[in-house]
Amino acid sequence: MSRFGVKEGGEARKPLPYITNYSQGFWEGTKAGELRIQKCNACSHKQWIPKAACEECGSIDLSWIKSGGKGKVYSYSIIRHVVMNSMAFEKEIPYALALIDLDDGVRVVGQVVECKPEDVKIGMEVEAFFEDIGGASIFKFRPRR
Amino acid sequence: MTLRGKAAIVSYGETPVTRARKDKGEPRLSYWEYFAWATSLALKKAGMTTKDLDGQGLAVMHPEVDHSLFLGVEVAEMLGVTSKWIITPSHGGASGCVGLAQAALAVSSGIVDRVLCVIGDAPMTYGDTMMLTEHRRDFEKPFGVMGPTSLFALVMRRHMEQYGTKVEHTGKIAVTQREHAVLNPDAVFKERFTMEDYLNSRMIAEPIRLLDTVMRVNGGSAFIVTKTEEAKRWTDKPVYLLGYGECNNYHHGSKALSDATLMGIGQASREALSMAGLEPRDMNFFQPYDDFTIAVLMQIEAAGFCEVGKGGKFIEETDLSYRGSIPLNTGGGQISAGQPGLAGGNLNLVEGVRQLRGEGEGRQIQGAKAGMVTGIGAVQYGRNVGYNSVAVLGSEL
Ligand SMILES: [Zn+2]
């Protein structure tokens, strides 16, 4: 693979994450159709992105909880060009990328699809679903029905 | 312990920047060559040789391209210098200001008398070869995030919604900085554009347009910091560090749901101004790190030139040119002068030094005595930003 995610003589592929011991639970979750976030067993803080410690109290005693996957758009952008990422995204352009505040109290970033990108608004209610990108599954969002 | 007036910048050197276009016959240099070139320019301007760096300090800032882990001592080896004290700021775009502060600490505590601060970077030669953050690789790129451009687009949209900021406000920043670049012989972009041109420029990640962003180039930059007592031995125009502040991993409110319109530059600039004993209105210029125009607007607010959320109106009502009340990025900034990788973190700092030495040529601010420069580095999503660093510089103690 070249640095732009283009397979020699083939189609561009989506970039894949490195799966570490502390993030494994999340990636197992997306495969099983669950959006898992970390909860601290010491102070009950919930956090995203997965980390090896609680960002609130420093405890290393963390567990996974299943998020309802529902939230509201905190902000959004319409992506018009591939910049510093795989050309595999070119066939999805234009698409809406958004910061989503989940009802569980954490902010995640992901694509909002199944609507026109222009229809995405701040405050819009969305829900997560999962998509296999070949080697891992990611979450995307769609308008809540 | 305060750093106020303890250290001075006595010299600087900047290499020309280049897109390294093979079709135009432009050479593709390595980052090493930019480290060497920038050093030789700074030494020459001070009337120093590498012998003057033996037993002294060396601040080697990390470039963005894939580089040697032991870069610090390898730069010393290349220069043939036996350093007493090597620091390696790895604060992304904040490394310039951070390097200045760490050098000032070293000379003010008596460890060394002087420190060469240097960086060379060559993204046009090496490309995107460095893993900048693991979260970007694992939790942003697979999810469709297009690097800092899309992250700042998300911040900009939120700022627009929360405060009524308009694209004409960031547009005025872009137009003003380009006007400055036209007056800077070293800038990559020298063609004027109008607000209409700005509004018509290609969307990259809405609401961010092409003219809101930087063009990457190769280049190198160096400056030399000495203890105040020996500054005049090297120059009759020392530029003193009057105040410094740093705030890293900033968040506001819940760590998981921070207000994305606020920046750690707020706290860092209050500390820097307090150390200097000055107010925002005392600043004769503002040279904020500019990877995107919205980052400039938010730093104008955070640094206290106006209230948070009023940046748009402030920009509308203020002359930001080198003749105005608060001259902004008078060399054109990275957005119009080019971003030499992470050496871009030195660009606006060196421009501040130039102004305070009266070397601003066609864009010289009359009577510039004090001003503020910033560095920011490591963009997280929904938080601004990883590294926040602010220096207040002055031509008088
Ligand atoms: Zn905790």
DSSP symbol at A103? T
Q: How distant is the Cα of B257 from the closest Cα of chain A, in angstroms?
A: 6
User: Contact B265/B284 with Cβ under 8 angstroms?
Assistant: no
pLDDT of residue A7: 46
Distance CA(A29)–CA(B307), nearest Å, equals 43
pLDDT of residue A5: 46
pLDDT in tens, chain B (397 residues): 699 999 999 999 999 999 999 999 999 999 999 999 999 999 999 999 999 999 999 999 999 999 999 999 999 999 999 999 999 999 999 999 999 999 999 999 999 999 999 999 999 999 888 888 899 999 999 999 999 999 999 999 999 999 999 999 999 999 999 999 999 999 999 999 999 999 999 999 999 999 999 999 999 999 999 999 999 999 999 999 999 999 999 999 889 999 999 999 999 999 999 999 999 999 999 999 999 999 999 999 999 999 999 999 999 999 999 999 999 999 999 999 999 999 999 999 999 999 999 999 999 999 999 999 999 999 888 889 999 999 999 999 9
Structure tokens at B36: 């060497």
Determine the CATH number of domain A68-145: 2.40.50
Enumerate the H helices of B84-227 as residue ranges.
95-108, 123-126, 134-139, 147-163, 167-182, 195-200
Helices B265-276, B293-302: inter-axial angle, 10-degree rounding: 50
Nearest residue on chain B to A51, alpha-carbon basis: B135
Of B154, B204, B254, the CB nearest to A80: B204
Domain spans, chain A: 19-66, 68-145
Mean pLDDT of A75-101: 97
Cα–Cα distances in Å, from B287 out to B22, B303, B319?
Answer: 33, 11, 15
CATH 3.40.190.80 fits B134-214+239-394, yes or no: no
Distance CA(B305)–CA(B319), nearest Å, equals 13
- 3-state secondary structure at position B94: helix
- 3-state secondary structure at position A12: strand
Cβ contact, residue pair B142, A14, below 8 Å: yes
Cβ contact, residue pair B256, A106, below 8 Å: yes
A38 touching chain B per CB within 8 A: no
pLDDT of residue B178: 98
Cβ contact, residue pair B138, A17, below 8 Å: yes
In CATH terms, the fold of domain A19-66 is Rubrerythrin, domain 2 (2.20.28)
Confidence band of A13 (pLDDT split at 50, 70, 90)? very high
pLDDT of residue B254: 87
Q: B11 pairs with which residues across the strands? A: B224
pLDDT of residue B141: 96
Of B148, B158, B205, the CB nearest to A74: B158
A8: pLDDT strictly greater than 70: no
In 3D, which of B15, B51, B52 has the Cα closest to residue B36?
B15
Q: How distant is the Cα of B248 from the closest Cα of chain A, in angstroms?
A: 14
User: Contact B111/B84 with Cβ under 8 angstroms?
Assistant: yes
Cβ contact, residue pair B256, A105, below 8 Å: yes
Nearest residue on chain B to A4, alpha-carbon basis: B128
Cβ contact, residue pair B142, A47, below 8 Å: no
Topology agreement, domain B7-128+218-234 and domain B134-214+239-394 = yes
What residues of chain B lie within 8 A of the CB of A85, using their CB? 141, 144-147
Distance CA(B130)–CA(B138), nearest Å, equals 14
Of A45, A85, A106, the CB nearest to B147: A85
DSSP B48-72: --GGGGTTSEEEEPPPSS---TTHH
Q: In what order do the strands lie in the sheet with B239-246?
A: B85-87, B57-60, B114-121, B219-227, B7-14, B239-246, B387-394, B370-377, B286-287
Cβ contact, residue pair A110, B260, below 8 Å: no
A18: pLDDT strictly greater than 60: yes
**Total CB pairs under 8 A between chain A and B:** 130
Q: How distant is the Cα of B161 from the closest Cα of chain A, in angstroms?
A: 8
Confidence band of A145 (pLDDT split at 50, 70, 90)? confident
Q: How distant is the Cα of B109 from the closest Cα of chain A, in angstroms?
A: 33
Determine the CATH number of domain B7-128+218-234: 3.40.47.10
DSSP symbol at B18? B
ipTM for this model: 0.95
B47 touching chain A per CB within 8 A: no
What residues of chain A lie within 8 A of the CB of B256, using their CB? 45-48, 55, 105-107
pLDDT of residue A114: 98
Cβ contact, residue pair B161, A75, below 8 Å: yes
Nearest residue on chain A to B159, alpha-carbon basis: A75
B210 touching chain A per CB within 8 A: no
pLDDT of residue B367: 96
Cβ contact, residue pair B135, A78, below 8 Å: no
Domain spans, chain B: 7-128+218-234, 134-214+239-394
Helices B167-182, B293-302: inter-axial angle, 10-degree rounding: 100
pLDDT of residue B383: 87
